[in-house]
Amino acid sequence: MRAFDGQMSGNRPIQRSTEEKKKQLRDLKEALAALKPHAAPSLRESLTAKIKALETELTPRR
Look at the chain and report how many structural domains it folds into: 1
Q: What is the pLDDT of residue 4?
A: 65
In a domain, 8, yes or no: no
Domain that holds residue 28: 18-58
Amino acid identity, position 10: G
Please tell me the pTM assigned to this model. 0.74
HSE-CB of 54 using CA atoms within 13 angstroms: 21
In a domain, 10, yes or no: no
In a domain, 4, yes or no: no
In a domain, 3, yes or no: no
More confident residue, 1 or 29: 29
Residue 50: how many other CB atoms lie within 10 Å: 15
Q: What is the pLDDT of residue 15?
A: 82
In a domain, 5, yes or no: no
More confident residue, 6 or 41: 41
- pLDDT tens-place string over residues 15-43: 889 999 999 999 999 999 999 999 999 99
- pLDDT tens-place string over residues 37-62: 999 999 999 999 999 999 999 998 76
